[in-house]
Every structure is written in structure tokens, then in C-alpha cells.
């Protein structure tokens, strides 16, 4: 890996210095491996939900705060550990083996963030605004620990995207309306619940290259137990250079494209001319490595736009000027009578909006 990075220094990670005791990403990995890596069945350490709780939290049935509160109380020691980790400010992958985070279990992280959001709803039902905000911040913190490291992969970023969307939906739809918050309170909430996902997609590309090559591609190229490539790739160095060139091209492209371009991205935008001497095996492997990239790019841009939408709802609730819609730069549509906030009427936004419009909560 060092040899590859020496040839392509712009892809080299710039590592942060974070003490182990304050490194949210390291502590999260430790927790996940200890508690969730094998989905242990011991009731003292497992986050498995009874069917009733699962159906409540994932909205297959009506909300039952008392039942959820009872379940979370039983799991308080685990939930409190997740909360403590989520509230840590810093995260770094420096000095951590890539093998530990090349395939982060997304379902376990998402479950923990969902339970923190459920705890926020329970707290709001009891009028405890401090705990409600703390639980939402902790859920965002778990997302930040995945997206905020020096080498966030597409998996890490996906976890962050899913967690953040749940946090914002829960805050605006379920938590804030249940609390007695004045405009100054809502401004604090808006400040504390800022999105944590990377604004520069190039950082994700750098992370995807580092994690993918070190954790997946190098072992794959150097050892194939099924002998699908009898002698491995015939042009390993050329393959790594071609893959690095592709990732640098994407980094430059994504920095150049505006949000509308990212939303309308098509295959032609990402066409990259490989060296004509690159072997068929290397080209095929790069194709495998690139599966889903365009779809992910659109999804990532859609998520950023929805973050802006929820932020606008919080701004209106606080009596502040809301931000403009991300893709078009137009104002969101707010019906003062129904308090429904909608996306601008523009055909370019088809498929972008969330499944249901937000009702902007009233301040006290």
C-alpha cells in the first residue's frame, strides 16, 4: 500500500492525532466488536428487540412510549455506553488496522442510532428536553464517527446518511412537537443538530480508495483461493495506477460538479480513459470495484438536499430565515395555515423529496 501511495500522494490520508480515550471511532469499534460483532444472544449484552418493540420503532404499528421505555430501561447500561461514545467529539482511524473497519456492520450501527432516536421520543413524551436532545446528538455522533474519520468508505458514509435522516425526521416530526420549546431553544437545537456527513465527496473517494485497496483489492489480487485468476493480475502495478487515476478523476469531478450536476449525474460524466495496454482482467476488476457508484452519488446528493429541507423546517420554527433548497437554489414552499413545508415546484427535483412533507413545529 505504501508503494501505491508514494506513486499517488494525493490519495494519501492525512491522519489526525486523537488520544485513544477520546477517539469515538476506536471506542465504537471496540464496543461493536464486543457487543454486536457476532450478535451475541446473552440478554445482558444483546440489543435484539422483541417483535413488539421492533414493530413500534420501525413504525409497523402505533407508537407505544411506555413499552419502548420499559425495553430501553432494561438495556440502559448498553444504551448509556452508546450514548457516551456518540457524544465524544473526535474520531480517527489512525493506527487502526483496516481489517477492523473495511466492512463495518451497518445494521448494528443503524440499530443503535434508531434506539437513541427512540429514547429521544420517550424523553420528549416525559417533557425531558435535555435528554431528548442529548440522545439525538449521540445518534448524530455515531454517524459522525463513521463519516468523520480520515478514510470514510462508501459503507461508512451510507451509515452516516441513514442515521442522520432518522435523527432529523425524528426531531422535526416526533420530538420537538412534543416539547415546550421557545424560539431560542429551537435555535440551540438547530445548532446542535447540524449534519455531519462529508460535504466534499472527494474525501469519501480518498477513503474508499484507501479502505477498498488495502482491505479488499490487495488481498483479492494477491490471493485467490478459487483460482479464478490462476496467476493473479498480469499487470498489478498498472492496475493500481489505473484505479488510482480513476479515483483522482472522480475526486476532481465531484469537486467541480454543482449539486444539480451531482443529482443529474450520468455515466458519461464518469467516463475515464484507461491506458490501452491495461489487461482485460484489470479492467474487469475495476468494473467490479465501481459497481453502484453513480447510484450512490445520486443518493448522497439526495440526502444532502433532505438535510437542508429539515434544517429549513427548524429555521422556520425558530423564526429565522430558512436556507434555500440545495439543488435549485429556490425557496422552500411554506403554507402558514397548514404549516406544511414542501420542495419548490421544479421538474428537476422529481424523485428527490422525502416520502412525506414536513409539518413545521410551533414554538411556544
Please state, as a whole number, how many other Cβ atoms lie within 10 Å of the Cβ of residue 124.
Answer: 25
In a domain, 105, yes or no: yes
The domain tally of the chain equals 3
Please state which of the ranges 43-47, 200-204, 347-351 shows the lowest mean pLDDT: 43-47
Mean pLDDT of 154-176: 92
The overall longest dimension of the chain from CA atoms, in Å, is 70
Nearest to 79 by CA among 37, 36, 38: 36
Query: All 3 cell numbers of residue 25?
Result: 471511532
pTM score, two decimals?
0.89
- Whether residue 39 is predicted with pLDDT greater than 70 in this model: the reply is no
pLDDT tens per residue, range 223-256 = 555 544 445 677 888 888 988 988 888 887 766 6
Residues 266 and 308 placed together within one structural domain of the fold:
no
- The residue from 291, 306, 335 where one domain ends is 291
pLDDT tens digits for range 99-154: 899 888 888 899 999 999 999 999 999 999 999 999 999 999 999 999 999 999 88
Question: Is the same domain home to 122 and 248?
Answer: no
Helix axes 24-31, 76-86, angle to 10 degrees: 150
Within a domain: 272? yes
Assess whether 96 and 128 both reside in one domain: yes
Q: Is residue 23 part of a domain?
A: yes
**317: containing domain:** 298-359
Amino acid at each position: 500500500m505504501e508503494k501505491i501511495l508514494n506513486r499517488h500522494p494525493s490519495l494519501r490520508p492525512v491522519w489526525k492525532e486523537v488520544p485513544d480515550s477520546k477517539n469515538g471511532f476506536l471506542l465504537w469499534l471496540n464496543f461493536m466488536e464486543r457487543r454486536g460483532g457476532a450478535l451475541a444472544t446473552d440478554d445482558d449484552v444483546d440489543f435484539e428487540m422483541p417483535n413488539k418493540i421492533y414493530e413500534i420503532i420501525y413504525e409497523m404499528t402505533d407508537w407505544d412510549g411506555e413499552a419502548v421505555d420499559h425495553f430501553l430501561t432494561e438495556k440502559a447500561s448498553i444504551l448509556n455506553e452508546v450514548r457516551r461514545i456518540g457524544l465524544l467529539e473526535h474520531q480517527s482511524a489512525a493506527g487502526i488496522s483496516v481489517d477492523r473497519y473495511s466492512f463495518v456492520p451497518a445494521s448494528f450501527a443503524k440499530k443503535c442510532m434508531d434506539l437513541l432516536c427512540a429514547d429521544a421520543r420517550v424523553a420528549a413524551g416525559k417533557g425531558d428536553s435535555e435528554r431528548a436532545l442529548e440522545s439525538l446528538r449521540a445518534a448524530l455522533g455515531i454517524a459522525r464517527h463513521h463519516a468523520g474519520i480520515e478514510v470514510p468508505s462508501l459503507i461508512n458514509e451510507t451509515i452516516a446518511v441513514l442515521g442522520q435522516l432518522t435523527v432529523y425526521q425524528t426531531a422535526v416530526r416526533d420530538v420537538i412537537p412534543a416539547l415546550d420549546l421557545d424560539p431560542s431553544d429551537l435555535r440551540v437545537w438547530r445548532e446542535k443538530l447540524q449534519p455531519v456527513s462529508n460535504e466534499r465527496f472527494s474525501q469519501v473517494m480518498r477513503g474508499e480508495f484507501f479502505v477498498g485497496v488495502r482491505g479488499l483489492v490487495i488481498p483479492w489480487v494477491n490471493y485467490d483461493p478459487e483460482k479464478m485468476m490462476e496467476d493473479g493480475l498480469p499487470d498489478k502495478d498498472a492496475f493500481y495506477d489505473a484505479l488510482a487515476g480513476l479515483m483522482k478523476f472522480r475526486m476532481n469531478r465531484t469537486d467541480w460538479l454543482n449539486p444539480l450536476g451531482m443529482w443529474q449525474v450520468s455515466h458519461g460524466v464518469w467516463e475515464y480513459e484507461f491506458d490501452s495496454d491495461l489487461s482485460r482482467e484489470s479492467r474487469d476488476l475495476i468494473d467490479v470495484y465501481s459497481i453502484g457508484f453513480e447510484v450512490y452519488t445520486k443518493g448522497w446528493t439526495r440526502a444532502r438536499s433532505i438535510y437542508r429541507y429539515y434544517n429549513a423546517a427548524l429555521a422556520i420554527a425558530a423564526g429565522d430565515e430558512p436556507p434555500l433548497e440545495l439543488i435549485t437554489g429556490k425557496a422552500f414552499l411554506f403554507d402558514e395555515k397548514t404549516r406544511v413545508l414542501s420542495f419548490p415546484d421544479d421538474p428537476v427535483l422529481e424523485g428527490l423529496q422525502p416520502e412525506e412533507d414536513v409539518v413545521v413545529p410551533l414554538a411556544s
